[in-house]
Amino acid sequence: MALLGGCVSGPADPTTSLPGLGDCLRQVEIKRLQRAIERCDSVVEAHPNHPQPRNERALLHSLAGDNKTACRDSLAAAKLLKLLPAQPPADPLLVEEIELRAKSCRLITNAPTADAPSPAGSGG
């Protein structure tokens, strides 16, 4: 049984029924990624304005081989990151991870296709 870990905030507040920010990657089993994604969906729903759950769900989608959905979450996380208040400052590791994932997705989604004309033009 393989478990994944990531940037996880403190334990969920037991006085609330909402999932905690760090619940997406809690006890993830590779063989049960869909269940982890569903749990993470509820975390994203509970914290729609925070980038961390979307970033973690992007990782889960990537592991499941759904890079298109992973990139959608990564780019959304990057947008949400810019909307966070300056104080208190966001976790630098979370910021770096989100920025790297978003940059990777931008490179992938902006890459020319095989049938695209060469940027050098056609010489003859």
Helix (H, G, I), strand (E, B) or coil at 22: helix
Structural domain 19-109, CATH architecture: Alpha Horseshoe (1.25)
Where are the domains positioned within the chain? 19-109
Q: How far apart are CA 21 and CA 12, in angstroms?
A: 8
Nearest CA to 52 out of 29, 80, 10, 72 is that of 80
Residue 52: Cβ within 10 Å count: 27
Three-state SS annotation for 88-110:
CCCCHHHHHHHHHHHHHHHHHHC
pLDDT score of 120 more than 70: no
Quick: pLDDT tens for 38-94. Answer: 999 999 999 999 999 999 999 999 999 999 999 999 999 999 999 999 889 999 999
